[in-house]
Structure 1
Amino acid sequence: MGNKQTELEKKMTNITNLVPVTETQLNGKLQQTVSAKDLHNYLNVGNDFLTWIKGRIKEYGLINNDDFLIIDSSEFRNQSTNNEQQIKWTSERGGDRKSTDYILTIGTAKVLAMIENNEKGRAIRKYFIRCEQHFKEIEPVIQKKELKRLKARIEVADYSRPMCDALTIQRLSQNKETKLHHYTNEFNIINGIVLGMSAKDFRKAHNITGDIRNYLNEQQLNHLAYLEKSNITLIDMGWDYEKRKPELIKLSKSYMIRLLGDEASCP
């Protein structure tokens, strides 16, 4: 009996290495997900990957951004189940056919494994069930993390309007009209520093719509809030766009150094 358990654990460990389960923001919530390419390779399906996955999507009516995401697979590597950063992905248009992957919810992955109706499919289905059970055990911790993220989301929203108001007042004092692109420039400075791209580019890269801040993690939101608060101060001091931009970059670097120092000092 003990030997059987040992063999089972070995099998589960092997599956874990071959088909890692990660956490991805999907439909506004953190979900367990699996690379369809990894699953396809493990199941040793006869068809090539794209023929297989597209056939399953059509046959079982799977829905994009609900049951799966289309990504650049080069971005979906070395992600542990404890990774607190959001997984980055790009739209199918953004990569070649070789790099395209489909990130499946664990529920979808279970279905695709089950319908193969072979030993490997049954084994990996049991593995996915174990992952779900573990996820439920740690769900209170995840919920706590999500509450912190929501708090950070509210905080950054509190600074967005005052930043726009400060810019309007500054430009009025200079007898200048404030147009939409002036506000957009402010957000693009800060988004560019924190995310490395504008909101428009972020939506395109992540195949999302709406306010990008609904998709950011707690650390990113706190970083944005800090820079928006700092930007308000710089605007009130009368600094123009060209002078504020390098100062915000410098403040951002100092912020990240302090953050990394705080994390390193935590037990």
Structure 2
Amino acid sequence: MKLEKRRLTSEASPQSATSLDGISNNDFAAIVPVISGQIGGRDTSIVSAKALHKALGVGNDFSTWIKLRIEEYGFVLGTDYVVFDSSDFRNQSANFEQKASSWVTKRGGDRRSKDYGLSLGMAKEAAMVERNDQGRAVRRYFIQCEEALSRSVPEIAAQYRRQLKARIGAANLFKPMCAALDTARAEQGKQTLPRHYSNESNMIARIVLGGLTAKQWAQVSGIAGEPRDSMTAEQLEHLTYLESTNITMIDMGMAYDQRKAELIRLSQRWLAKRLGANHA
């Protein structure tokens, strides 16, 4: 993962103390810098977990604290955070490691310091759950960073909103598709098994993802966690369109092979329309 030098808030001289009483946003930028980077191939804002731990005044040591938070709240490597060498964040110029299992420390030699690059959302949640003045202050700072991004780079903020809307849309249609399949098969006197749901999901994913299931696409792309969380807004919108259409065709009593052929045809039409709109 590459980090850029651009910050969302103005720079200030580093502060020796971590007391948060009465400090300005410029001071926060030095204590807990928020910089641009990537997690799971997606552009996002990154926060050093070590810097956050220090600012929050947590009683536990850093390693214990971060591991507990990841386990307790189900944060996902490659989706919510990445693992890297502490010096990389200070230099803001290295490829971060996204597989914790590949981290190696040399005994008796040059010992590297392990840090975590947190998404702004994960950092904000980690600050909130501390339930102290530091946590509330840092959380407000992160919210202000998000607002600054929205004002200074509105096209990126719009992209995030589109991504969120598409992700919710795709999530909202999976259960209705399964319910439609249940009803259609019940009318035929057939039982619906887990593999039948998987077949529907995989069929649509292969159309959207160039012949790969969502799981296969994530593996090829080096993505951890839920594949849909790392799909582009266009991929999710494409998926949503096909899921919605598939529900209608299931309700009409169309067989699997019929629906598959028709979804492929409609997919090509959908893509052609999008391509034409982008060149208009």
What TM-score results when the alignment is normalised by the length of structure 1? 0.51
Listed as ranges, the matches of 1:227-238 within 5 Å are 227-238=242-253
Give me the whole-angstrom Cα distance separating, in 2, the residues matched to 1:186 and 1:200.
14
Give the deviation of 1:139 after TM superposition: 3.2
- Name the amino acid aligned to 1:170: A
Give me the whole-angstrom Cα distance separating, in 2, the residues matched to 1:142 and 1:59.
27
- Name the amino acid aligned to 1:182: H
1:252 lines up with 2:267 in the alignment? yes
Seen in structure 2, the aligned counterparts of structure 1 residues 29 and 256 have a Cα distance that, compared at 3 Å, is: closer
Give the deviation of 1:250 after TM superposition: 0.2
Give me the whole-angstrom Cα distance separating, in 1, the residues matched to 2:95 and 2:45.
11
**Residue 234 of structure 2, aligned match among 219, 243, 254:** 219
Give the deviation of 1:155 after TM superposition: 1.2
- Name the amino acid aligned to 2:43: L
- Report percent identity of matched pairs: 38
Give the deviation of 1:241 after TM superposition: 1.1
1:157 lines up with 2:180 in the alignment? no
Cα RMSD of the aligned pairs, angstroms, is 3.3
Give me the whole-angstrom Cα distance separating, in 1, the residues matched to 2:205 and 2:225.
15
- Name the amino acid aligned to 1:186: E
Equivalent residue, structure 2, for 1:26: 39
Give the deviation of 1:60 after TM superposition: 5.1
Equivalent residue, structure 1, for 2:96: 68
Give me the whole-angstrom Cα distance separating, in 2, the residues matched to 1:143 and 1:28.
17
Answer yes or no: is the 8 Å Cα contact 1:28–1:214 preserved in 2.
no
Seen in structure 2, the aligned counterparts of structure 1 residues 24 and 182 have a Cα distance that, compared at 3 Å, is: farther
Answer yes or no: is the 8 Å Cα contact 1:25–1:215 preserved in 2.
no
> Unmatched 5+ residue regions in structure 1?
1-22, 34-56, 71-91, 93-104, 106-135
Give the deviation of 1:152 after TM superposition: 1.0
Equivalent residue, structure 1, for 2:158: 144
Give me the whole-angstrom Cα distance separating, in 2, the residues matched to 1:30 and 1:58.
20
Give me the whole-angstrom Cα distance separating, in 2, the residues matched to 1:139 and 1:214.
22
Equivalent residue, structure 2, for 1:179: 193
Answer yes or no: is the 8 Å Cα contact 2:37–2:45 preserved in 1.
yes
Give me the whole-angstrom Cα distance separating, in 2, the residues matched to 1:24 and 1:213.
20
What TM-score results when the alignment is normalised by the length of structure 2? 0.49
Give the deviation of 1:159 after TM superposition: 1.2
Equivalent residue, structure 2, for 1:199: 214
The structure with more helix, counted as a fraction of residues: 1
Aligned to 1:68, what secondary structure does the other structure show?
Answer: coil
